[in-house]
Amino acid sequence: MAIPPDHRNQPDQAVRPTPPDLPGPPDRAPVPAPTDAAAPTAPTDAAGAGAAERSDDGTGTPDDHGTEPDDPGETASGGWSETDDDRTAETLAWLRAKRRAHRRQQGRDLAVLLYSVLLAVVGYGSGLAVHFLRGLGEGADYGGFGAGLTRGLPALFTALGLLLSLVAARDALWRGPVVLPGPAVGWLLAQPVRRAAVLRPWFRLSAGLSLVPGVLGGLAGAVALRVTGQASIGHALPAVLPAALCLPLLATAVGMAVERRPDLSRTVRRWTAPAVLLLAALGAQTALAGSGHRVRPLEWVELWSGPWGWAAQPVVRACGGSAPGWPAAVALLLAGTAAAVLLAHREAAAVPTARLRARAATATTVASVAWSLELRAAKLALLDAAGGDATRMVRLPPPRGRAARHLAVVWRDALTLLRAPGRVGRAALWTAAAASAAGLGADLGGERRPVGLVVGLLCGYLAVGALAESARVETDDLRRSAWSPYRLRGLMLRHGIVPAAVGAALGLLAGIPFAVEGSPAALLYLPLCAFPFTAAALYGACRGPARTQLMFLGGGSPIGSPGPLIYLAWYAAGPLVAVTVLALTLSRATPAGAVAVCVLLTAALGYAAARSADRLVR
Phi (first) and psi of residue 107, to 5 degrees: -65, -40
Mean pLDDT, rounded, for 120-144:
65
The amino acid present at 75, given as its one-letter code, is T
CA 143 to chain centre: 35
Mean pLDDT, rounded, for 449-462:
91
The amino acid present at 567, given as its one-letter code, is Y
Contact (CB, 8 A) for 25 and 84: yes
d(CA 353, CA 182): 11
143 — pLDDT class (breaks 50, 70, 90): low
d(CA 59, CA 418): 57
pLDDT of residue 64: 39
d(CA 384, CA 377): 11
pLDDT of residue 531: 95
Q: What is the DSSP string of 435-499?
A: HHHHHHHHHH-TTHHHHHHHHHHHHHHHHHHHHTHHHHHHHHSGGGGGG-SS-HHHHHHHTTHHH
Contact (CB, 8 A) for 254 and 268: no
Q: In the predicted model, is pLDDT for residue 293 greater than 70?
A: yes
* Closest listed residue to residue 88, CA positions, set 202, 183, 189: 189
96 — pLDDT class (breaks 50, 70, 90): confident
d(CA 359, CA 206): 15
In this predicted model, which residue has the larger pLDDT, 157 or 26? 157
Mean pLDDT, rounded, for 44-64:
39
Burial of 531 (0-12, 13-18, 19+ CB in 10 A): buried
Contact (CB, 8 A) for 150 and 248: no
Q: What is the DSSP string of 313-328?
A: HHHHHHTT---TTHHH
Query: Looking at 27-41, 355-369, 522-536, which range is the least confident one?
Result: 27-41
Query: Which residues, at least 6 apart from 260, have a Cβ–Cβ distance to it below 8 Å?
Result: 347, 348, 350, 351
- Kindly report, residue by residue over 397-442, the tens digit of the pLDDT: 788 877 777 788 888 889 988 888 888 989 999 999 999 888 888 8
* Closest listed residue to residue 598, CA positions, set 532, 501, 549, 504: 532
The CB-based long-range contact list for 121-129 (8 Å cut-off, 24+ gap) reads: 123/559
pLDDT of residue 10: 43
- Kindly report, residue by residue over 162-214, the tens digit of the pLDDT: 999 999 999 998 888 998 887 788 787 777 778 888 899 999 999 999 999 99
Contact (CB, 8 A) for 489 and 615: no
d(CA 582, CA 455): 12
pLDDT of residue 390: 66
Mean pLDDT, rounded, for 280-307:
88
Query: Which residues, at least 6 apart from 305, have a Cβ–Cβ distance to it below 8 Å?
Result: 158
Q: In the predicted model, is pLDDT for residue 541 greater than 80?
A: yes
The Cα-based distances of 251 to 83, 153, 221, 258, 385 in angstroms read 35, 20, 19, 11, 20
Mean pLDDT, rounded, for 547-561:
72
* Closest listed residue to residue 197, CA positions, set 115, 289, 96, 119: 96
What integer best gives the mean pLDDT of the chain? 80
The Cα-based distances of 153 to 95, 141, 230, 437 in angstroms read 49, 20, 12, 21
- pLDDT above 90 covers a percentage of the chain that reads 32
1 — pLDDT class (breaks 50, 70, 90): very low
34 — pLDDT class (breaks 50, 70, 90): very low
pLDDT of residue 556: 63
142 — pLDDT class (breaks 50, 70, 90): low
How does DSSP classify residue 31?
P
Cα angle 500, 506, 508 (rounded to 5 degrees) comes to 100
- Kindly report, residue by residue over 208-232, the tens digit of the pLDDT: 999 999 999 999 888 888 888 888 8
Radius of gyration of the CA atoms of the chain, in A: 32
Q: In the predicted model, is pLDDT for residue 332 greater than 70?
A: yes
59 — pLDDT class (breaks 50, 70, 90): very low
The Cα-based distances of 173 to 202, 251, 272 in angstroms read 17, 14, 12
The three-state secondary structure class of 504 is helix
In this predicted model, which residue has the larger pLDDT, 5 or 462? 462
Query: Which residues, at least 6 apart from 65, have a Cβ–Cβ distance to it below 8 Å?
Result: 76, 77
Query: Which residues, at least 6 apart from 124, have a Cβ–Cβ distance to it below 8 Å?
Result: none
pLDDT of residue 265: 86
CA 285 to chain centre: 25
562 — pLDDT class (breaks 50, 70, 90): confident
Query: Which residues, at least 6 apart from 450, have a Cβ–Cβ distance to it below 8 Å?
Result: 441, 583, 587
- Kindly report, residue by residue over 581-616, the tens digit of the pLDDT: 999 998 887 888 889 999 999 999 999 999 998 888
Nearest-10 Cα torsion for 486, 489, 491, 492: 180
d(CA 218, CA 242): 9
Contact (CB, 8 A) for 178 and 351: yes
d(CA 67, CA 37): 18
pLDDT of residue 607: 93
d(CA 137, CA 409): 62
The amino acid present at 79, given as its one-letter code, is G
d(CA 59, CA 48): 16
In this predicted model, which residue has the larger pLDDT, 82 or 451? 451
d(CA 239, CA 235): 6
pLDDT of residue 559: 62
Contact (CB, 8 A) for 530 and 504: yes
The CB-based long-range contact list for 263-271 (8 Å cut-off, 24+ gap) reads: 264/169, 265/172, 265/173, 265/387, 268/169, 268/170, 268/172, 268/173, 269/173, 269/386, 269/387, 269/390, 270/390
pLDDT of residue 138: 53
52 — pLDDT class (breaks 50, 70, 90): very low
Mean pLDDT, rounded, for 109-124:
82
